[in-house]
Chain A
Amino acid sequence: MTFETCNLSITRDGVPVLEGIDLSLPPGGITAIIGPNGAGKSTLLHAMAGLLSPHAGAVRLNGRDLSGIQPGERARSLALLTQDQGVTARLTVADLIAFGRWPHHQGRPGHEDRAAVADAIETFDLGPLAARTLDALSGGQRQRAFVAMAYAQTTPWILLDEPLSALDPRYAHDIMRRLHDLSRTGPDARSVVIVVHDLGVTARFADRVIGLKDGKLFGAGETGDLMTSDWLTRLYDTPMEVAEVGGRKIPFAA
């Protein structure tokens, strides 16, 4: 199941936010969307999830225009985790994760749904927190619960908008490692697209990188090929270096 954007342009109040984005993402692996603040990363992710109507161009999932796919079917094909994690209702972690199954059962959960929720709780190590309410969790624990909800949706594509923002290095690496494993488990491998600011995490876990700058595609390709000091310096308009430590490339601002 491939994900494509063809000449995708998005405007907000008449101002272009994304212009002429052409992308083709093969299934499997982790794709990181990086770029400076205001580059249009979250907008691209929301457009890929079908939540924003393109001003021009199209988003295609497996060759089908996303705007022609019914919301229910779309929710069974791709899951989106947004940055906003406010919920008015008083939910436990297990309740929240169970919502990930809604596109499949539409309010009538069955055995398969309960098994998927249990699997998500186990995969993200949330067993001890399952009965706790969201307002009793730390920012990082909350973040993990929301990622688990997106996982429980069991969609071929998982789109995550800055899921690491509230996490300390341990939990950030832990979640990325789990996502990395999920994107490589044979025929059931999930394809993960993630908006991220941590270039170290990107270099360590992402298979592909998409660079956005000023609403335009700055570059897209294999992580190892693209993330050079010259490319990153031009992307962020600030001196960047890539150091090699223990055989791993670690980008940093010089």
Chain B
Amino acid sequence: MVRHRLLFLSLGLGCFTLLFLGWHLRTPVGLILSLRAEKLAALVLVGAAVGNATVLFQTAAQNRLITPGIVGFDALFVFLQTMLVLILGGAGYSGLSPLPKFAVETGCLVLAATALFAALLRKGAEDVLRMILTGVILGVLLRGLSGFAQRILEPSEFAVVQQASIASFGAVDARLLPIAGAALVIAMALSWRLSPRLDVAALGRTKAQTLGLPFDRTILAGLSLVSVMVAVATALVGPVTFLGLLAANLAYRLTDTHRHAVLIPAAAMIGATILIAGQFAFERVLGLQSSLSVVVEFAGGLLFLALVLRRDR
């Protein structure tokens, strides 16, 4: 039954992939296909990584209403963009070489997440909630600092920061894809290998320990993978806060299983499908450009509200 559902999800992903690549294909076919394939690769990588990371993060936090974005990844990303524009100026920022910029951004995001996780989980993984709260507060602090710095910028520089702060799938540099792809595929494969342990960890700290699971080590390994996946995805296209919430909760609903070996690929496929379908609809059907992230955030926000209200009842 579960296999059928995974097959159904992979068929859905395949259909949207073909539609995205083949819709109204004109000459020169090779060039158009290669351009579409680059964008498709970015959509698949980001969607899959964010869906996968959210399932892992929710298991570690024992809460299905939160996303890794809550600990301030998006705020740190915006802060980094603001600081770069403030220091280098609008022209200097635009002239930055994509590869070193991507490496520095990813490195900063991974370092910040690792420092947050390691410092707060030193006493053991029961401190996950304190870690989340600290991340939320740090996010507020970084947003405040970014807001302050943005007031100093020239209007043209402010526009550069604004553009860099919204996730964009249309302007991904193709040179970044192999590196980002390799990092994300390795992180996703490792998280899938962690699946049987994550199943036990989902029972809670004490129960998992009584079953002989090295709980703290498992949670730290999971959170390290989350930090890599979210950092690479954010540095590649920008922050997408609620996509993971959509993908993970649809995966729980559609697969109806507790097994991470199923949930992880399901959330990854759903995340990728949402992005491909959304981008396809906006670019080809509605003729609009680069507002996908806004719609994903809007739909994710609505789902979040629905989940919170349903839980309250």
B63 and A82 form a contact (CB under 8 A) = no
A245 interfacial by beta-carbon distance below 8 Å: no
Complex interface: chain A residues within 8 A of B199 (CB): 89, 99, 107
Complex interface: chain B residues within 8 A of A71 (CB): 209, 212-214
Query: In the docked arrangement, what's the CA distance between A87 and B207, Å?
Result: 10
Query: In the docked arrangement, what's the CA distance between A91 and B203, Å?
Result: 10
Decide yes or no: A102 and B212 within 8 Å by CB, A89-B202, A90-B252 being known contacts. yes
How big is chain A's contact interface, by range? Answer: 20 to 34
Residues of B within 8 Å of A, CB-based: how many? 22
Complex interface: chain B residues within 8 A of A108 (CB): 196
B210 and A95 form a contact (CB under 8 A) = no
B211 and A103 form a contact (CB under 8 A) = yes
A102 and B213 form a contact (CB under 8 A) = yes
Decide yes or no: A88 and B62 within 8 Å by CB, A75-B210, A82-B210 being known contacts. yes
Residue of B nearest to A83 (CB): B206
Query: In the docked arrangement, what's the CA distance between A100 and B203, Å?
Result: 11
B64 interfacial by beta-carbon distance below 8 Å: yes
B200 and A82 form a contact (CB under 8 A) = no
Complex interface: chain A residues within 8 A of B203 (CB): 87, 89, 99
Main secondary structure of the interface of A (DSSP, over half): loop
B210 and A51 form a contact (CB under 8 A) = yes
Complex interface: chain B residues within 8 A of A84 (CB): 204, 206-207
Binary contact track A88-120/B, C-beta < 8 Å → 1, others 0: 111100010001101100111000000000000
Decide yes or no: A88 and B64 within 8 Å by CB, A51-B209, A71-B213 being known contacts. yes
A99 and B210 form a contact (CB under 8 A) = no
Query: In the docked arrangement, what's the CA distance between A107 and B213, Å?
Result: 11
Complex interface: chain A residues within 8 A of B207 (CB): 82, 84, 87, 99
Binary contact track B176-206/A, C-beta < 8 Å → 1, others 0: 0000000000000000000111011011101
Query: In the docked arrangement, what's the CA distance between A232 and B213, Å?
Result: 39
B284 interfacial by beta-carbon distance below 8 Å: no
Least Cβ–Cβ distance between B272 and chain A, in angstroms = 24
B258 and A89 form a contact (CB under 8 A) = yes
B258 and A90 form a contact (CB under 8 A) = yes
Decide yes or no: A102 and B258 within 8 Å by CB, A82-B206, A86-B204 being known contacts. no
B200 is contacted by which of A76, A79, A99 (Cβ under 8 Å)?
A99
Least Cβ–Cβ distance between A92 and chain B, in angstroms = 9
Query: In the docked arrangement, what's the CA distance between A99 and B204, Å?
Result: 12
Interface residues in B195-233 (C-beta closer than 8 Å to A): 195-197, 199-200, 202-204, 206-207, 209-214
Decide yes or no: A75 and B211 within 8 Å by CB, A51-B206, A82-B206, A88-B63 being known contacts. yes
Residue of B nearest to A102 (CB): B211
A88 and B211 form a contact (CB under 8 A) = no
A212 interfacial by beta-carbon distance below 8 Å: no
Least Cβ–Cβ distance between B65 and chain A, in angstroms = 11
A16 interfacial by beta-carbon distance below 8 Å: no
Seed contacts A84-B206, A87-B202; 11 additional CB < 8 Å A-B pairs: A51-B209, A71-B212, A71-B214, A75-B211, A87-B203, A87-B207, A88-B62, A89-B202, A91-B258, A102-B211, A102-B212
- 24 intermolecular pairs with C-beta atoms under 8 Å apart: A51-B209, A51-B210, A71-B212, A74-B212, A75-B212, A82-B206, A82-B207, A82-B210, A84-B204, A86-B204, A87-B202, A87-B203, A88-B202, A89-B203, A91-B258, A99-B199, A99-B211, A100-B211, A102-B200, A102-B212, A106-B196, A107-B196, A107-B199, A153-B211
Give the B-binding residues of A (Cβ under 8 A). Answer: 49, 51, 70-76, 79-80, 82, 84, 86-91, 95, 99-100, 102-103, 106-108, 153
